[in-house]
Amino acid sequence: MKSLYEALPAVEIGGRKLVGHVLFGLLILISAVVGAASGLLLVYSTDLPQVDELERYRPSSVTELYDGQGRIIGTFALQRRVIATYDDYPEVLRNALVSIEDKDFYLHSGINFWRIAGAAYRDIESGGKVQGASTLTMQLARNLFLSPDRSFHRKIQEALLAIQIERRFTKPQIFTLYANQIFLGHGAYGFEAAAEYYFSKPATKLTLAEAALLAGLPKAPQYYSPINHPDRAQKRRNLVLNAMLEDGKITAAQAADAKSKPVLLSLQKDPNSLAPYFVEEIRRYLEGKYGSDQVHEGGLRVYTSLDMDMQKTARQAVLDGLAAYERRHGWRGNLPNVVTQGEKLDKYEDPDWDEDPEINGYQHALVTGVSSGDAQIRLGQRMATISQADAAWTKLKVPNFLSRGDIVYVKVFSLDGGGKARVSLEQDSGVQGALVAIDNTTGEIKAMVGGRDFNLSKFNRATQALRQVGSSFKPYVYTAAIDQGATPDDTILDEPVTFQTPSGPYIPHNYDDKFEGTITLRRALAFSRNIPALKLADRVGIRTVIEYAHRFGITSTLPPYLPVALGSAEVTLLEQTSAFSVFPNDGVRIAPRYITRVTDYEGRVLEEDFPDIKDVIGSRTARTMTSMLREVVLHGTAVAAAKMPYPLAGKTGTTNDFTDAWFVGFSPTLTCGVWIGYDEKKTLGEKESGARAALPLWMQFMDGALAGKDPGEFQAPPASTSPATAQKLDTPDSAPGHD
């Protein structure tokens, strides 16, 4: 029997063999694991997109429309996104986002293994799928290239892409791509767009509290929406502030101060709401030329002719003018009622409530209750009261004509911080108005209102509605006569007359059914006498008159019948307004323009519009006609405008049965046309002439548009029509206007 010492070598040899077997087994296991992992990586990476696409990547961005002073008046976009640079994002926002989303962003190479391991352990414990722990780079990879599902397969691909992105791009580049791409709720993509939407300011102006609130949104934009869930948004914001404090990015005092602030938003107003009819005209043109994808995703820059200040004045003038018309005709009732329609008051939302009401603006409101002396109404998040004084013009008691659930139309006079508003009761019976203003020297459209409410009707009554122009057509008749040798001081007989036409005898009459006898052409135009205009048209030939109208830019069909001289033909407001700009422009017509320049995303000019100029009439005729149209304002049918401190001229227009009311007039620098009527061409009411219904709107607009500016002076008329000669033709300012 061998001793213990003699047996030791055998044990030693056996132990070495065992260790060898174990090591060999481990090597095989490691090889298998590595092989399996390599195989898995190969499988998961075979269909990965190429990261080098990022070098050419440009996200969908907003097409912006600017007015003549470079102010945004409209946008087109599938996604509200404004592309910004790394430096456009302030340090406070960068710190807030990194602290809450990816503390080691500037240290890791795309993946944070410790966070992934921790998240995986928690998910295995809970039986869920791998989720969470994504770095900013991984989130960017997912948002750009992958589906939003939370599978293990997607997570592996996300990690692989993140590594590639980190190898190819710098941290500032990655941050910028992420900050421009991420969805932050309510259609806003990227932090620049979100800052503008939620706070009406660029990201560079964000406060600590605002930056922290935005940084908290990527986790769940809808759940933490500061609009729909301000309490959740505030809690999430404070969590971001705590993370920044832990990371040493802010002091305790700064954190406490920011936490003490309520969630205060200043939602960006929809820029398209200022001039929706004008913006819609631009959209249709751009889509026809560049295609819908380029317009809504290509980030075009469209420089338009509009003047934001004039547009605001125009919109207010139209709405105020329609309100004045409504009040003249008394309360008509027939209000829609949500209760009778089966809706609940607390569930009702009006399209007007998409934006906070504006002072002096008009909105629809919901009557939530009626008491013995007033009615309570709701305008979105605001409440107001309609007192008896606010409805005095109706000459009715509030409880007798308003009911709970009625939809009423109001004008907003003031707003307070407590969610209250002061309003007056107005009415929307369906009457419509339109206005166009054009710069005489450039043809640029400076203001356009196509109707009362774009939300209710997108039909543009300034460009699409063909309406009878009434006596505003007469200047073409007088232009033809003056161009053929007549003078303003020539006389004509205003008396009953019968014209023989192919369809039989035509017996016209004047507006007042009276006749003035022998009068000058100047007076005949100033007081819009029908008989003299028809005699002149018959003398020069109605086809000649129509030919002149076409030279002025009227493209609508004008049948060669004598009544066309009185405006029986249908023309658009834009055509008529542009045509009238020939008179103050010394006989030159400049085609109306919406757009001055269009550039692409990179700033390359795609198109540049230059004025289209044509000679229409000689300067002598243009100045003579301007002096005659000046008489319309000084002593004729538009005498109400004579008190305005500017040189003005124009012509009223009224159609049979008062279905259309017009005034088209001009200063030396600006031409403006106004129309009022119903879409269905029903009467506006007795005596609702151009002078009564349309002229006040025109005056309100021109007074605001010309205020503080040099109005210029009209060119002096030829010697034969000098002011001295015209003086003997003056009539008292109290003379009745006929049109």
Positions annotated as catalytic residues are: 101, 471
Q: Quick one: which H or E segment has residue 527?
A: none
Per-residue DSSP letter, 217: S
* Residue 58 structure tokens: 């440009």
Q: Is the dihedral of CA 209, 211, 214, 219 positive or negative?
A: negative
Q: If you write DSSP's letter for every residue of 347-386 in order, what string do you get? A: G---GGGGS---TT-EEEEEEEEE-SSEEEEEETTEEEEE
Total residues found in the chain within this entry = 739
Give the separation between CA 690 and CA 654, rounded to whole angstroms.
Answer: 5
Give Cα 257 distance to the centre of its chain: 37
CA–CA separation, 292 vs 662, rounded Å?
A: 36
581 conformational bin, left if phi > 0, alpha if psi -120 to 50, beta if neither = alpha
Contact indicator for 372, 385 with CB cutoff of 8 Å: no
The residues near 525 (Cβ < 8 Å, ≥ 6 apart) are 474, 475, 478, 533, 628, 629, 631, 632, 636, 651
Closest CA to 152 of 116, 118, 104, 182: 116
What is the three-class DSSP state of 421? strand
- What residues contact residue 396 under an 8 Å CB cut-off, 6+ apart? 331
Which CA distances in Å does 715 have to 330, 368, 476, 583? 44, 59, 20, 10
Scanning the structure block, which residue is given the tokens 């097409």? 63
Nearest to 68 by CA among 442, 589, 577, 544: 442
Residue 93 to residue 107: CA distance in whole angstroms: 18
Report how far residue 513's alpha carbon sits from residue 168's, in angstroms, rounded to the nearest whole number.
86
User: In terms of DSSP bridges, do strands 613-615 and 649-654 run parallel, antiparallel, or are they unpaired?
Assistant: unpaired
> How far does CA 594 lie from the centroid of its chain?
15
Upper half-sphere CA count for residue 266 (Cβ side, 13 Å): 8
DSSP class of residue 513?
S
Question: What does the alpha-carbon distance between residue 169 and residue 75 come to, in Å, rounded to a whole number?
Answer: 32
| Three-class DSSP category at 493 | strand
Q: Is residue 295 within 8 Å of 606, Cβ to Cβ? A: no
Q: What are the C-alpha distances in Å from 454 to residues 336, 459, 714?
A: 19, 8, 36
Positive/negative CA dihedral, 333, 339, 342, 345: positive
- Vertex 262 angle, CA 256 and 264, to 5°: 130
Chain-centre distance of CA 389, in angstroms?
Answer: 34
Residue 452 DSSP code: S
Q: What is the C-alpha to C-alpha distance for residues 609 and 596, in angstroms, rounded to an integer?
A: 5
DSSP calls for 82-95: ----GGGS-HHHHH
Inter-residue contact 554 to 620 (CB < 8 Å): no
How many angstroms from the chain centroid is the CA of residue 96?
Answer: 33
